[in-house]
Amino acid sequence: MKQQKTTWQGYSTKRHNSAFFLFVFLGMLTAFGPFVTDMYLPSLPAMTQYFGASVSMVQLGLTFSMLGLAAGQLVFGPLSDKYGRRAPLLVSMVLFLISTLGCIFSPSIELFVLLRFVQGIAGAGGIVISRSIATDKFKGANLAKALAIVGAINGIAPVAAPVVGGAVLKVTNWRGVFAVLFVLGIVLFGCCVHFNESLSRVKRSKESLYKTFSLFKTVVCNRKFMLYVLQMAFAQGMLFGYIAASAFIIQEHYGFTPFAFSLFFAVNAVAIGTGAAMSVKFKRQENCVLTSCAGMLVCSVAVLGSLLAGANVWVFEALLFVMLFMMGLSFTASTALAMDAVRLQAGTGSALLGAAGFLFGSVVSPLVGMGNMLVSTGVTFVVCAVCSGACALLAREKHVVKEENQTGVIL
């Protein structure tokens, strides 16, 4: 007997995978990677003492986890196009649970850093496949709505994770943080078992594994897709630059306590999430991206000016809040446009989209610490905003030309 199906806003689902379950599941998968990388940040000082290692050595755990998140997406994306979404998800969760246990009982900082790389690879599976599942199930405006949830969480999670980690440290030590991650991994593994495959066998790649990975060439040659990937990557460069510099600026420059800093972090996370959620109010996602880029550019210049002029913290925070709100608009809209451009290679496209953001983040993060951090941070914001806007304009130009060729009228 065939299983009954229900329809919800263009979404067709089997009975045991309700729309509610799907959105909760996608949200958890999206937040998983950022929590893997950032949740333990407040425990770095304690870890330097525990391992008897230098600060820079302990910070390599963050660097390697980000590299793992980038590399893992490039692996799990194509695999999910060939073998479906569910099997790679289960593999990534098992890998995560094993590596997390290793981190908890790691006897040396060197082994810990290596296991953090493995953790990053495992966490990447959730990020890349969550976007692919959304693309499997939705089209057009419904895809934008689905990705609005993913985008909101993707923007909030990197800045919320350290706040959660700080709260956990109030009742336990750094090992407790990783124990919480382990429990989260168990919950997600259970969700993966319950998840019903979203990519039917007839839609999977029939090519060999080598040719499946060669889909990267097809995706990279998609100019519209790559422009939106770069637009989003530069926007994420601003996000990671903010994450890397904000602790110094709030605590050392403005003289606030670590707890007050966490409150600033939480407020700014709301700005990003609200922006991502508001993106669905635009009738055309292309216009949303352009609005976002214009706002990011104006606000980044204003933030740089406030830092150079020595403005008080409330002026700086207000400008930063608006800048991050504009950034949130961009995350959802550009993701929807990029994924819609590579619907037939959704896993591979999602992999490249996600990897680009973390690669840009790994490059930008150390740049904000060069020279005077106030200047380098502001300049980094402006440069990333300019580059992001240029990519959006080029992508929009290509979109208009395509419509003109198809209809004879520029819409």
Span 79-138, pLDDT tens digits: 888 888 889 999 999 999 999 999 999 999 999 999 999 998 998 888 778 878 877 877
Q: How far does CA 170 lie from the centroid of its chain?
A: 27
Residue 240 in 3-state DSSP? helix
DSSP 196: P
**Which residue, among 268, 271, 411, has the nearest Cα to 330 in the 3D structure?**
271
406: CB partners within 8 A, 6+ apart: none
d(CA 176, CA 168): 7
Give the helix/strand (H/E) hosting 7: strand 5-8
Of 243, 261, 256, 274, nearest in space to 360 by CA: 243
Residue 8: the pLDDT is 39
**142, 19 in Cβ contact below 8 A?**
no
Is residue 263 within 8 Å of residue 369, measured between CB atoms?
Answer: no
pLDDT for position 108: 92
Q: The pTM is what? A: 0.69
Return d(Cα 212, Cα 205) in angstroms, integer: 7
Say how many residues make up the chain: 411
The mean pLDDT values, 10 residues at a time, for the chain of 411 residues are 43 55 81 80 79 78 82 84 88 94 93 93 84 75 68 69 81 90 92 86 77 78 91 90 78 78 80 83 87 95 93 93 92 84 78 82 76 88 95 76 44 33
Neighbour count for residue 287 (Cβ, 10 Å): 12
Q: Name 13's bridge partners.
A: 6
**pLDDT tens digits, residue range 133-192?**
877 877 766 666 676 666 667 667 776 787 788 788 888 888 999 999 999 999 999 988
**Residue 14 vs residues 11, 146, 386: alpha-carbon distances, Å:** 10, 18, 45
Nearest by Cα to 363 from 380, 388, 343: 380
CATH tag, 14-196+210-405: 1.20.1250.20
Single-letter amino acid code for the residue at 324: L
- Whole-angstrom distance between the N-terminal and C-terminal Cα of the chain? 47
pLDDT of 142 reads 66
Which amino acid belongs to residue 225?
A: F
Q: For residues 354 and 128, is the Cβ–Cβ distance under 8 A?
A: yes
